[in-house]
Every structure is written in C-alpha cells, then in structure tokens.
Amino acid sequence: MKKLLIAILTLISISIFYSCSNSLNPYAPFRERYVLSGIIRSDTALQVVTLSKSYQPAGFNPFADSENVAIIGAEVNVWYNDSLYIMRDSSIARVDSSRYNSNVNFYYCKNLKPAPNSYVEIQALLPNGLLLTSITKTPDAGYGFFDQASNNTFDPTQNSQIYVGWKDLGNVYYAPRISIIYYRKGDTNPKNFYVPLSYFNQNDKLTPNYPQLTKINFFTIDNSTLNEAMKELSGTDKNKSDFTISKIIVDVIAYDENLSTYYSSLQQSVDGFTVNLDAADYSNITGGFGIFGSYYKASFRIDLVRSYINSFGYN
C-alpha cells in the first residue's frame, strides 16, 4: 500500500513539474488598423477630427508604447448640404505629456456649422491609399425642441417644482445642465451656478446630485432643491445684496444615435463587478475604428419671480 501511495504522489509531482510551462502570447499577428474620431458640434463652426493607427506594444502594457500613432498627410473631406469642406492638418502642444512627447495632430475646418436634422459625411483618404468613411445625422434639436409645458417662469407660490421637457429623439442620450445666471457687484460678466436635480443627505451633509447623461427627455427640480441651490449660490458671503440673479438657463445637449451608442460602449462593464472580456466595441467608421457623431445643444430660459429672488436677500 505504501508503495502505491508513493507511486501516486510521484505521479502527481512529475505531472506538476511537466505542466509548469507558462508561456502565453496574447497577440495574434499584428495587422495595422486605422482610427477616425470626430464629433460635429452645433455650438461652433470649428470642427475637429483626429486620425491614428493601431499599435502592438512589446509587452502587455499599452501605456509603455509612446510612439506617436497620429496619421499625418491624409486627405480629409466633409460634405454637408452638397458643399465640400476640406479639413487641414495641424497640431498643438500636448497638455498631458506623460505618455507622448509629440504634439497632438488633428484635422480641422473653421466654417462648418450644420443645422439640426441634417446629414454630414466624412471621407479620410489615408497616405497608404485606404479610405475611412462615415456619416452622421445631426439631432433634430432645433426650433420646437422644448416641450411647451415646460416652466418658463418659476413662482414658488404657483409651482411646486420646475419641469422642463423636450422632444423624444429615440434611444439617444441627453446631457441637461441647469444654471442660475447671476452677477456679483462690480462684475460685468455673468456667472453660472449649476443647480442639481436633488440633494442627498449623507451623514447630515447635503450632496448635490447633478444631472447625468440620460435617455429620459425631461427633468424636474423640487422647490426645496432650488431653495437650497439659491442659498448655496452666495456661499459664505453674507452680503446677499451683492448678488443679482438674472435667470435660469437650461442647456440640453442631444447626442445623435451613433454618439449615443458609442458612449454606451465606453462603459465596458454593465456594472462594477461584471467582467466582460469580449464586449462589443462599437464603431460607425467604415474601414476602421472610432466614431463620427454629432450633437446639438439647445437652450431654454426660465425667469424667476422677483419676490422669490428677494426672499434670499438677492437683487
């Protein structure tokens, strides 16, 4: 019996010894891929895209690879309303040089400000002859975007909350932002105070809950939240009369469908613990990776009744 026991233990030991090779090559043969990244904005005529190529670091750590991967010398053309916009290449100094020492290379045009609900198409002919193409339809966030039921005047004696709604553009993201516009005595430039949707009481401390990217096409703010925001606006300054409240401005950035899907794909995990190894990587670039999307920013004004402003000591 002892001999058998020894034989089995020896077998296990030999098996362990022979199975200890641990070589692993996580890479398949490298094939260079190309990336176009660009988001067409509605709030400026300056449009920027970048072009880059893929890389395979020597080890497992991609941050160890510091060679500039930008593609220079491509022909980048944009079509909008049957007009051609040629993008020029340029570069600027990098703010964060922890990985790359070179400038940031990009392509730009300064005269393109597309209207809502219109198509913008891009073609990038790379120096090696490959073509990257894509198209975006700007969100339909122009005239009539905001819901008519939205409060354009807020009077706490009449309203228990602020409601602002806007057009449902489908399964897309919206980024709302609520600002109280005010002036401080002596300043001619207006200032913004961002209003949260609510406050959380954590350990007797109020934590603001600012709007996140959402697919819900409205928000509400309770009077208590607005009251707290109005109080916080002046901070510790006791001279409340130095503050002049102008209005509330609600901005809503609406993403187009491509940008919305792309944003979702940035969250590689659906929660903090799930590990998804091969999660789909969304791209709408034909011939490569990246994103060509657009967003539209719309604004809505809400006036506050004077008695409400004065109740906090503000003008």
Q: Which residues in 147-206 contact another protein (CB under 8 A)? A: 171, 173, 175, 177, 200, 202
Q: Print burial letters for 97-132: b (CB count within 10 Å at least 16), e (below 16).
A: eeeeeeeebbbbbeebebebeeebebbbebeeeeeb
Report, in Å, the least distance between residue 271 CB and another protein.
4
Q: Strands 75-80 and 47-53: what pairing?
A: unpaired
Distances (CA, A) of 187 to 182, 242, 309: 10, 10, 19
Residue 230 host element (H or E): helix 223-233
Phi, psi torsion values for 227, nearest 5 degrees: -60, -45
Q: Which is nearer to another protein, 172 or 233 (CB)?
A: 172
Which residues inside 296-315 make contact with another protein, applying CB under 8 A?
none
Q: Which of 58, 84, 149, 277 binds another protein (CB under 8 A)?
A: 277
Listed ranges 132-140, 221-229, 267-275, 301-309: which one lies at the site for another protein (CB under 8 A): 267-275
Phi, psi torsion values for 260, nearest 5 degrees: -65, -45
Listed ranges 151-159, 229-237, 239-247, 287-295: which one lies at the site for another protein (CB under 8 A): 287-295
Report, in Å, the least distance between residue 9 CB and another protein.
8
**Concatenated DSSP letters of 175-212:** EEEEEEEEEETT--S-EEEEPPSEEEEETTEEEEEPPP
Q: Give the integer Cα–Cα distance in Å for 138 and 136.
A: 6
Q: Which of 76, 78, 106, 234 binds another protein (CB under 8 A)?
A: 106
Q: Give the integer Cα–Cα distance in Å for 253 and 41.
A: 10
Residue 7 host element (H or E): helix 2-18
Which residues inside 46-75 make contact with another protein, applying CB under 8 A?
48-50, 52-57, 59-63, 65, 69
Listed ranges 18-26, 134-142, 216-224, 302-310: which one lies at the site for another protein (CB under 8 A): 18-26
Report, in Å, the least distance between residue 108 CB and another protein.
10
Q: Is 130 in the site for another protein (CB under 8 A)?
A: no
Report, in Å, the least distance between residue 117 CB and another protein.
19
Q: Which of 86, 115, 213, 216 binds another protein (CB under 8 A)?
A: 213
CB 90, CB 70: distance < 8 Å: no
Q: Which of 79, 85, 263, 312 binds another protein (CB under 8 A)?
A: 263
Q: Give the integer Cα–Cα distance in Å for 288 and 165.
A: 37
Phi, psi torsion values for 273, nearest 5 degrees: -125, -25
Report, in Å, the least distance between residue 180 CB and another protein.
16
Q: Which is nearer to another protein, 20 or 149 (CB)?
A: 20
Structure tokens given for 106 = 């990009």
Eight-state DSSP code of residue 210: P
Q: Which of 291, 298, 304, 309 binds another protein (CB under 8 A)?
A: 291
Q: Which of 136, 225, 234, 261 binds another protein (CB under 8 A)?
A: 261
Q: Give the integer Cα–Cα distance in Å for 113 and 111.
A: 7
Question: For the chain, how long is the longest CA-to-CA vector?
Answer: 97
Site size with another protein, rule: CB under 8 A: 88
Q: Which is nearer to another protein, 210 or 306 (CB)?
A: 210
Report, in Å, the least distance between residue 276 CB and another protein.
5
Q: Which is nearer to another protein, 11 or 86 (CB)?
A: 11
